[in-house]
Amino acid sequence: MATAPLTAGKGPEKGREAWSVLIVSTLAFTVCFMVWMMFAVIGIPLKKTLGLNATEFGLLTAMPVLSGSLIRVPLGIWTDKYGGRIVMAVLLAITVPAIWFMAYATQYWHFLVIGLVLGLAGGSFSVGTPYVARWFPRDRQGMAMGVFGAGNSGAAVNKFVAPALVVAFGWTMVPKVYAVIMLITLIIFWFGSSSDPRHLVSSKVKFMDQLKALKDPRVLKYCQYYSIVFGGYVALSLWMVQYYVGEYGLDIRIAALLAACFSLPGGVLRAIGGWLSDKYGAHSVTWWVMWVSWICLFLLSYPQTDFTIQTINGVQTWHLGLNVYAFTGLMFALGIAFAFGKASVFKYVSDDYPENIGTVSGIVGLAGGLGGFVLPIMFGMLVDITGIRSSAFMLMYAVVWVSLIWMYWTEVRRASPMGDQSKSLSLQN
């Protein structure tokens, strides 16, 4: 069987099918992301109940991200081989029991183990990305993947729904309600989605052949980009509610609402990022995303500080630090930048690997997910070691620096006249 063309059929029926697939896939991914981020809210009462320190809390929130990341490459490969409809449906079905049984967990290790299973929901991104992309023509794939990726807004939905349930009924009601929602989503997805045998990769392509993409330096570079725009987004979505509670002493409902000012644009605006990437190119959008992120993280990194100096009029003290309004404004801007960046990175993938989107998107998604796993743990360790909450932003600031330097040397400098001149001189020598 030959590799399928990556364009949808031209008739109106195929057009309706494509949009139906996109809508139900986006719904499924939104619910999956909501479940994936569950510990961002219920982790706060669990932290008190189980007596966890910052590092243990970071590990708790990161466990679903770990399994959801590790499964992304296999899921991308299976999607290429078996089709997105069946793989997504099976994935949704597997998570329902794990979500429900979390309500009955009592010990720390219970939550870690169950978190690994329900974390499989996070792998849905590597299923939906190639699945929806192949229903649209090349010049609209950035838009399609951006709309699907807007399902990241499930992180914000979680911050609206879960706190209300925690306050009204206790944290155990959250997994029960989420399990029912996931089951309903599975039914809607199955009846609203379609499959096309032409979208499958040839059965002659082997698992190890597809994994050869790991040797491609471009894939590694895109992994680095995605580790910050997606991994950072996931990590901060998990971390921000407790950050607001600890740093500004807010109620969990207010903290979750303000944290959604980062999560919501970071998810919903991804579709605009896809459109911008189609129009201006993946490089231009990603370059500006990194610079905006660099500025925001520099300002967010500065801890609350009091300066005391001796003057001719006596001792004077000044306070320097972000109040809750300035902090939330910067987080909002950072969320927009990350939304555009998540879409632009996958525009790189669809442009460079049109015949292997599933595998490469799985690898890049894995890198982003691992960033979302490692960062919360490192956030907790830095807080335990330094006692400075803003050290989380210091760490992410350093990661953005790496991306900017890598992009400059491999893309900006290579494309500039000076870069061409340097190449010419080296060849002459």
Predicted confidence at residue 416, as pLDDT, reads 58
pLDDT exceeds 50 at position 423: no
Predicted confidence at residue 420, as pLDDT, reads 46
**What is the mean predicted confidence (pLDDT) over 345-356?**
80
Per residue in 269-327, pLDDT (tens digit) is 877 887 888 888 888 899 999 999 999 999 999 888 888 888 878 888 888 888 999 99
Predicted confidence at residue 211, as pLDDT, reads 62
Does 408 or 350 have the greater pLDDT score? 408
Does 356 or 406 have the greater pLDDT score? 406
Say if CB 55 and CB 45 are below 8 A apart: no
Q: 200 is written with which tokens?
A: 């499958």
- Max mean pLDDT among 25-34, 80-89, 131-140 falls in 25-34
pLDDT exceeds 70 at position 12: no
**What is the mean predicted confidence (pLDDT) over 330-356?**
86
Rounded CA-CA distance 131/8 in Å is: 11
Per residue in 105-155, pLDDT (tens digit) is 889 999 999 988 888 888 888 888 888 888 888 777 777 877 887 787 888
Q: Per-domain residue ranges for the chain?
A: 12-198+209-416
Predicted confidence at residue 325, as pLDDT, reads 93
Rounded CA-CA distance 134/350 in Å is: 10
| CA 158 vs CA 39, 164, 239, 246: distances in Å | 10, 10, 13, 20
Does 330 or 354 have the greater pLDDT score? 330
- Which residue from 234, 232, 233, 214 is spatially nearest to 222, judged by alpha carbons? 214
**What is the mean predicted confidence (pLDDT) over 228-239?**
88
Q: What is the CATH number of domain 12-198+209-416?
A: 1.20.1250.20
Predicted confidence at residue 209, as pLDDT, reads 60
Mean predicted lDDT score pLDDT of the chain: 83
Predicted confidence at residue 241, as pLDDT, reads 87
Say if CB 93 and CB 112 are below 8 A apart: no
